[in-house]
A and B are shown apart, each in its own frame.
Chain A
């Protein structure tokens, strides 16, 4: 089992309303987008793979699909897969879980990776 210290808190779950897009930061300063859909929490890179646009600032979530505000490309937040044009490249996703009211990055190896 992994100990609590290997989890990285991204944001408080209170800041992520159902259907809205929350924001967290990785230790290296990169921003991630956090989504709460039907009680499940997901996280992806914040920057759209098609261009220079922030999903937390300008994206729009409908069900599991996040739409980028700039050219209206879409991704499935569960897998990161690009599902609507002009996006073709997948978004990176991060394994997350809710612990003590915090959205935590929950993959031990990834956590170790990012801490370096």
Chain B
């Protein structure tokens, strides 16, 4: 049995019942953790998956597809619609919004993030953000009776939603402040292709523009250059802020995200953090970043469960960051760094695009658009010091899978 958690009277409390909190609870149970386990979440629903909220759920409204599976066993005490209010690190207690306290031996913050808002549009009717099932329902219901969707912000969630609305026959408009789409998460060259893709499907995209006012009478938005665009429903998707107040108030090191090391430890003994709320060292950039991806929330939670339950085999978590973003029929996948000293493209027979970045001769980033076949194999090159050259990659007759296998075997 586990060395660290085998002691009697262990109790683990996880705050936040999203993907990371849910996964940690399931992984602990799976690995045979026998102590007390409480999952505290402030949302009213059983734990669910967020990626479909901007995609399939907007199209079919099927909530049965959202629940995270398999459901947690009864030995995990789940508190729903219960907000954690304060951590007392000395007494090892967590105070909840009903005034009660939960004692813990180990506390895990899995509180995620919340959407940023635009002060000038706040409190207007039909201006929404998208993070929760409640948000997704409201957007879906509103889309039924408006003719257009204006998304502010050209990031993945906004583009996914714009593509879904276009598929539903709504006029979709995206207004992005910077001169390109997905500036934080995708390579510039890939963002250009994506821009063409969405425009070719009828989505109007305004780059380098902001929304300065809404005209409720005409249901239009006014841009900073005076142009007017349809805005039946406005969704603000300009990024997120970490839900790190609990930690900050308890004196735990934070900076729009809770700092953690590879063992998911915060600066307070016994307090850990996983998922979107963390600020961790990105193995490719060397900087402390928030890695807001499904794969990270899942992987970090799994890693922490392994660290606790099987400490002998456990390793520090330093997975290569990666994500997918399914935008209409565009399947975007990105892994590793989004820039490099060298880059090369391939276009496959079906028109799929593959972009690879190198730094100091090593593969540091891979991005694909509608080329899911090559993504997984190429991503495997990012961690090891195995590599392929830009020339090998770009050779018209190259078989990517065979090249990767050779490189990894070498």
Give chain A's interface residues, CB within 8 Å of chain B: 53, 57-58, 60, 67, 69-72, 85-86, 88-89
Contacts and interface: CB of A to CB of B under 8 A. Distances in A.
A75 to B, nearest CB: 14
B372 A69 contact: yes
A69 B69 contact: no
Given A85-B298, A86-B298, A89-B69, 15 more contacts: A53-B372, A57-B373, A58-B372, A60-B373, A69-B373, A69-B376, A70-B324, A70-B326, A70-B331, A71-B294, A72-B376, A85-B295, A86-B49, A86-B294, A88-B70
Given A88-B69, A88-B70, A89-B69, A69 B375 contact: yes
B372 to A, nearest CB: 3
A53 B70 CA distance: 22
B89 interface: no
Interface centre among A67, A70, A88, by most chain B C-beta atoms within 10 angstroms, is A70
Interface string B307-346: 0000000000000000010100001000000000000000
Contacts of B298: 85-86
B377 A60 contact: yes
B401 interface: yes
Nearest to A69: B372
Nearest to B298: A85
Contacts of B379: 72
Nearest to B352: A58
Given A58-B373, A86-B298, A71 B324 contact: yes
Contact of A60 (B70, B324, B326, B401): B401
Interface residues of B, number: 16
Nearest to A89: B69
5 contacts: A57-B373, A60-B377, A69-B376, A71-B294, A71-B324
Q: State the majority secondary structure of interface residues on B.
A: helix
Q: State the majority secondary structure of interface residues on A.
A: loop
Interface centre among B49, B70, B373, B376, by most chain A C-beta atoms within 10 angstroms, is B376
Interface string B45-85: 00001000000000000000000011000000000000000
Nearest to A67: B376
Contact of A70 (B70, B294, B372, B401): B372
A66 to B, nearest CB: 11
For the complex of A and B, 4 pairs with smallest distance between CB atoms: A69-B372, A58-B372, A58-B373, A88-B69
A53 to B, nearest CB: 7
Contacts of A72: 295, 375-376, 379
A67 B372 CA distance: 11
Contacts of B70: 88
Interface string B359-375: 00000000000001101
A70 B373 CA distance: 8
Contacts of A58: 372-373
Contacts of A53: 372
A82 B235 CA distance: 36
Contacts of A60: 373, 376-377, 401
Nearest to B23: A85
A88 B401 CA distance: 26
B340 to A, nearest CB: 22
